Amino acid sequence: MQIRRPHFLWLTLAAVVALAASAAEPDYHQRFSETLSNGQTGFIHGTDLVDTNNWGPSLTNATIAFAKFRDGELGGIRLGMTMAEVVAAWGKPRSLCSHCRIGPRFWYGDGPFFGDLSLSFKGDRLVLIGICGGTAKHVTFDNGLSGHAGRSEYEKILGEPSLRDTVDLGLFNGEIAYRSGAVLATFTFKRVSAATNTEHLGWAAVCLEAEAQRDRSGEPGGAASGNQPSLSETNSTPSAAGSRR
Protein backbone atom coordinates (compact mmCIF):
# COMPACT_ATOMS: atom_id res chain seq x y z
CA MET A 1 0.00 0.00 0.00
CA GLN A 2 1.39 3.39 -0.97
CA ILE A 3 1.27 6.29 1.45
CA ARG A 4 0.63 9.71 -0.05
CA ARG A 5 3.58 12.01 0.43
CA PRO A 6 1.76 14.69 2.51
CA HIS A 7 0.44 11.97 4.82
CA PHE A 8 3.92 10.45 5.12
CA LEU A 9 5.43 13.85 5.96
CA TRP A 10 2.75 14.43 8.58
CA LEU A 11 3.48 11.08 10.23
CA THR A 12 7.23 11.82 10.21
CA LEU A 13 6.69 15.24 11.77
CA ALA A 14 4.41 13.77 14.45
CA ALA A 15 7.02 11.16 15.33
CA VAL A 16 9.75 13.81 15.62
CA VAL A 17 7.56 16.00 17.86
CA ALA A 18 6.67 13.04 20.08
CA LEU A 19 10.34 12.06 20.39
CA ALA A 20 11.34 15.59 21.30
CA ALA A 21 8.60 15.83 23.91
CA SER A 22 9.69 12.53 25.39
CA ALA A 23 13.30 13.68 25.57
CA ALA A 24 12.29 16.97 27.21
CA GLU A 25 10.03 15.33 29.81
CA PRO A 26 11.97 14.45 32.98
CA ASP A 27 11.60 10.83 34.01
CA TYR A 28 9.80 9.85 37.18
CA HIS A 29 12.89 9.65 39.40
CA GLN A 30 14.05 13.06 38.24
CA ARG A 31 10.68 14.59 39.17
CA PHE A 32 10.82 12.77 42.51
CA SER A 33 14.35 14.09 43.20
CA GLU A 34 13.28 17.63 42.30
CA THR A 35 10.40 17.36 44.77
CA LEU A 36 12.82 16.36 47.53
CA SER A 37 15.16 19.20 46.56
CA ASN A 38 12.25 21.59 47.05
CA GLY A 39 11.99 20.47 50.66
CA GLN A 40 9.00 18.14 50.44
CA THR A 41 9.46 14.86 52.34
CA GLY A 42 7.27 12.28 54.04
CA PHE A 43 4.08 11.53 52.12
CA ILE A 44 4.06 13.20 48.71
CA HIS A 45 0.75 14.06 47.07
CA GLY A 46 1.60 15.88 43.84
CA THR A 47 -0.34 14.55 40.86
CA ASP A 48 2.84 14.46 38.77
CA LEU A 49 4.03 11.65 41.07
CA VAL A 50 0.87 10.11 42.58
CA ASP A 51 -2.44 8.89 41.19
CA THR A 52 -4.87 8.14 44.02
CA ASN A 53 -7.28 6.52 41.55
CA ASN A 54 -4.75 3.98 40.32
CA TRP A 55 -5.19 0.63 42.07
CA GLY A 56 -2.42 -1.08 40.10
CA PRO A 57 -2.63 -4.69 38.93
CA SER A 58 -5.12 -7.21 40.26
CA LEU A 59 -3.23 -10.23 41.56
CA THR A 60 -6.22 -12.31 42.60
CA ASN A 61 -7.84 -12.84 39.19
CA ALA A 62 -5.13 -15.10 37.81
CA THR A 63 -2.61 -17.66 38.99
CA ILE A 64 0.85 -16.30 39.86
CA ALA A 65 3.90 -18.19 38.60
CA PHE A 66 5.67 -19.05 41.85
CA ALA A 67 9.10 -19.56 40.25
CA LYS A 68 9.00 -16.06 38.76
CA PHE A 69 7.84 -14.56 42.05
CA ARG A 70 10.62 -16.34 43.94
CA ASP A 71 13.11 -14.89 41.42
CA GLY A 72 11.77 -11.36 41.98
CA GLU A 73 9.06 -10.86 39.33
CA LEU A 74 5.40 -9.98 39.85
CA GLY A 75 2.72 -8.67 37.54
CA GLY A 76 5.06 -7.31 34.88
CA ILE A 77 7.63 -5.73 37.19
CA ARG A 78 10.84 -7.18 38.60
CA LEU A 79 13.46 -6.34 41.18
CA GLY A 80 16.16 -4.03 39.84
CA MET A 81 13.77 -1.88 37.79
CA THR A 82 13.89 1.92 37.95
CA MET A 83 10.97 3.99 39.22
CA ALA A 84 10.18 5.03 35.65
CA GLU A 85 10.06 1.40 34.50
CA VAL A 86 7.73 0.48 37.38
CA VAL A 87 5.44 3.44 36.62
CA ALA A 88 5.40 2.49 32.94
CA ALA A 89 4.14 -0.98 33.94
CA TRP A 90 1.84 -0.21 36.89
CA GLY A 91 1.19 3.53 36.63
CA LYS A 92 1.86 6.11 39.32
CA PRO A 93 1.48 4.82 42.88
CA ARG A 94 -1.63 5.54 44.94
CA SER A 95 0.61 6.52 47.86
CA LEU A 96 4.25 7.57 47.96
CA CYS A 97 6.55 8.10 50.94
CA SER A 98 9.94 9.70 50.41
CA HIS A 99 11.63 7.34 52.88
CA CYS A 100 10.28 4.34 54.75
CA ARG A 101 12.91 2.15 56.44
CA ILE A 102 14.66 1.14 53.20
CA GLY A 103 14.15 4.18 50.99
CA PRO A 104 11.35 5.58 48.81
CA ARG A 105 8.19 3.45 48.96
CA PHE A 106 5.20 3.05 46.61
CA TRP A 107 1.82 1.57 47.51
CA TYR A 108 -0.86 0.19 45.19
CA GLY A 109 -4.02 -1.82 45.68
CA ASP A 110 -6.80 -1.89 48.23
CA GLY A 111 -6.50 -2.51 51.94
CA PRO A 112 -6.12 -0.63 55.22
CA PHE A 113 -3.72 2.29 55.52
CA PHE A 114 -2.01 2.68 52.13
CA GLY A 115 -2.54 -0.47 50.03
CA ASP A 116 -1.79 -4.18 49.83
CA LEU A 117 1.01 -3.93 47.25
CA SER A 118 4.22 -2.36 48.50
CA LEU A 119 7.34 -1.47 46.51
CA SER A 120 10.54 -0.20 48.13
CA PHE A 121 13.50 1.41 46.37
CA LYS A 122 17.12 2.15 47.12
CA GLY A 123 17.68 5.31 45.16
CA ASP A 124 16.19 4.59 41.73
CA ARG A 125 16.35 0.80 42.04
CA LEU A 126 13.47 -1.47 43.07
CA VAL A 127 14.74 -3.73 45.85
CA LEU A 128 11.59 -5.11 47.51
CA ILE A 129 8.11 -6.22 46.40
CA GLY A 130 5.56 -7.02 49.13
CA ILE A 131 2.02 -8.44 49.07
CA CYS A 132 -0.05 -8.18 52.25
CA GLY A 133 -3.59 -7.85 53.57
CA GLY A 134 -6.55 -9.22 51.64
CA THR A 135 -4.47 -9.51 48.47
CA ALA A 136 -2.03 -11.90 50.15
CA LYS A 137 -4.89 -13.93 51.60
CA HIS A 138 -6.46 -14.46 48.18
CA VAL A 139 -3.45 -15.05 45.92
CA THR A 140 -3.04 -18.36 44.11
CA PHE A 141 0.33 -19.72 43.01
CA ASP A 142 0.80 -22.27 40.24
CA ASN A 143 2.62 -24.75 42.51
CA GLY A 144 -0.43 -25.54 44.65
CA LEU A 145 0.17 -22.90 47.31
CA SER A 146 -2.24 -20.05 47.97
CA GLY A 147 -3.10 -17.36 50.44
CA HIS A 148 -5.31 -19.78 52.32
CA ALA A 149 -2.40 -22.13 53.11
CA GLY A 150 -0.48 -22.10 56.38
CA ARG A 151 3.19 -22.35 57.27
CA SER A 152 3.27 -26.15 57.38
CA GLU A 153 1.82 -26.34 53.86
CA TYR A 154 4.41 -23.89 52.53
CA GLU A 155 7.27 -25.81 54.10
CA LYS A 156 5.88 -29.10 52.79
CA ILE A 157 6.00 -27.84 49.21
CA LEU A 158 9.01 -25.51 49.39
CA GLY A 159 11.18 -27.57 51.71
CA GLU A 160 13.39 -26.47 54.56
CA PRO A 161 13.65 -22.66 54.67
CA SER A 162 16.98 -20.96 54.07
CA LEU A 163 16.21 -18.72 57.06
CA ARG A 164 13.66 -18.54 59.84
CA ASP A 165 12.48 -15.28 61.46
CA THR A 166 14.29 -12.81 59.21
CA VAL A 167 14.69 -10.11 61.83
CA ASP A 168 17.44 -8.27 59.97
CA LEU A 169 15.34 -7.11 57.05
CA GLY A 170 14.05 -3.55 56.97
CA LEU A 171 10.52 -4.59 55.98
CA PHE A 172 8.46 -7.76 55.68
CA ASN A 173 10.38 -9.80 58.23
CA GLY A 174 9.00 -13.26 57.54
CA GLU A 175 8.67 -16.41 59.60
CA ILE A 176 10.27 -18.45 56.80
CA ALA A 177 12.49 -17.33 53.93
CA TYR A 178 14.00 -18.92 50.83
CA ARG A 179 17.03 -17.74 48.86
CA SER A 180 17.23 -17.85 45.09
CA GLY A 181 20.55 -16.30 44.13
CA ALA A 182 20.54 -12.68 45.28
CA VAL A 183 16.77 -12.76 45.91
CA LEU A 184 15.17 -13.62 49.25
CA ALA A 185 11.49 -14.62 49.38
CA THR A 186 9.84 -14.27 52.80
CA PHE A 187 6.47 -15.44 54.12
CA THR A 188 4.59 -14.90 57.34
CA PHE A 189 1.21 -16.26 58.48
CA LYS A 190 -1.81 -15.31 60.55
CA ARG A 191 -3.70 -17.67 62.83
CA VAL A 192 -7.30 -18.23 61.69
CA SER A 193 -8.37 -20.40 64.61
CA ALA A 194 -6.45 -21.57 67.65
CA ALA A 195 -8.91 -24.41 68.10
CA THR A 196 -8.26 -25.86 64.64
CA ASN A 197 -4.66 -24.62 64.40
CA THR A 198 -5.34 -23.15 60.94
CA GLU A 199 -3.49 -20.26 59.33
CA HIS A 200 -3.50 -18.16 56.18
CA LEU A 201 -0.79 -16.14 54.47
CA GLY A 202 -0.19 -12.82 56.21
CA TRP A 203 2.22 -11.53 53.62
CA ALA A 204 4.71 -12.59 50.97
CA ALA A 205 7.66 -10.55 49.79
CA VAL A 206 10.72 -10.80 47.58
CA CYS A 207 13.76 -8.60 47.90
CA LEU A 208 17.35 -8.16 46.80
CA GLU A 209 18.67 -9.35 50.15
CA ALA A 210 21.94 -7.40 50.22
CA GLU A 211 20.25 -4.15 49.15
CA ALA A 212 16.97 -4.26 51.07
CA GLN A 213 18.40 -3.83 54.56
CA ARG A 214 17.04 -1.04 56.69
CA ASP A 215 18.63 2.32 55.95
CA ARG A 216 18.73 4.21 59.23
CA SER A 217 20.20 7.38 57.74
CA GLY A 218 17.55 9.99 57.09
CA GLU A 219 14.76 7.76 58.35
CA PRO A 220 11.83 9.40 60.16
CA GLY A 221 11.68 8.49 63.83
CA GLY A 222 9.21 5.90 65.03
CA ALA A 223 8.66 2.58 66.69
CA ALA A 224 11.21 -0.08 65.76
CA SER A 225 8.74 -2.71 64.60
CA GLY A 226 10.35 -5.42 62.50
CA ASN A 227 7.18 -6.07 60.54
CA GLN A 228 5.14 -3.72 58.39
CA PRO A 229 5.95 -0.13 59.45
CA SER A 230 3.61 1.64 61.81
CA LEU A 231 1.98 4.85 60.70
CA SER A 232 4.37 6.90 62.81
CA GLU A 233 7.29 5.51 60.84
CA THR A 234 5.96 7.03 57.65
CA ASN A 235 5.53 10.59 58.96
CA SER A 236 1.96 10.14 60.14
CA THR A 237 0.41 10.32 63.59
CA PRO A 238 2.65 9.15 66.45
CA SER A 239 -0.39 7.69 68.22
CA ALA A 240 -0.42 4.90 65.64
CA ALA A 241 3.03 3.62 66.64
CA GLY A 242 3.21 -0.11 66.91
CA SER A 243 0.17 -0.81 64.75
CA ARG A 244 0.51 -3.39 61.99
CA ARG A 245 -1.19 -4.26 58.77
Residue 31 is predicted with a pLDDT of: 94
- Segments in the chain forming alpha helices (H): 5-24, 28-37, 66-70, 83-90, 133-137, 151-158
pLDDT for 196 equals 67
pLDDT at res. 170: 73
Whole-number pLDDT of residue 191: 86
pTM of the model: 0.79
195: Cβ contacts below 8 Å, ≥ 6 apart: none
Distance of alpha carbon 129 from alpha carbon 79, whole angstroms: 7
Q: What pLDDT is attached to residue 60?
A: 85
The rounded distance, in Å, linking the Cα atoms of 120 and 19 is 30
Give the 3-state secondary structure of residue 226. Answer: coil
Longest dimension (CA), the chain: 78
State the pLDDT at residue 195.
Answer: 67
Give the separation between CA 175 and CA 40, rounded to whole angstroms: 36
- Sequence-distant (6+) residues with CB within 8 A of 58 are none
List average pLDDT for each run of 10 residues in the chain, which is 245 residues long. Answer: 47 43 64 93 94 91 94 97 96 95 93 87 96 94 95 96 83 92 95 78 95 68 37 32 31
- With beta carbons less than 8 A apart as the criterion, state whether 94 and 52 touch: yes
Q: What is the pLDDT of residue 18?
A: 42
Calculate the dihedral angle through the C-alpha atoms of 4, 9, 10, 16, rounding to the nearest 10 degrees: 150
Q: In 3D, which of 43, 176, 155 has the Cα closest to residue 100?
A: 43
What's the pLDDT at 107? Answer: 96
CA distance 43 to 99: 9
Burial of 4 (0-12, 13-18, 19+ CB in 10 A): exposed
CA atoms within 13 A on the CB side of 26: 10
Nearest to 229, CA basis, from 138, 118, 126: 118
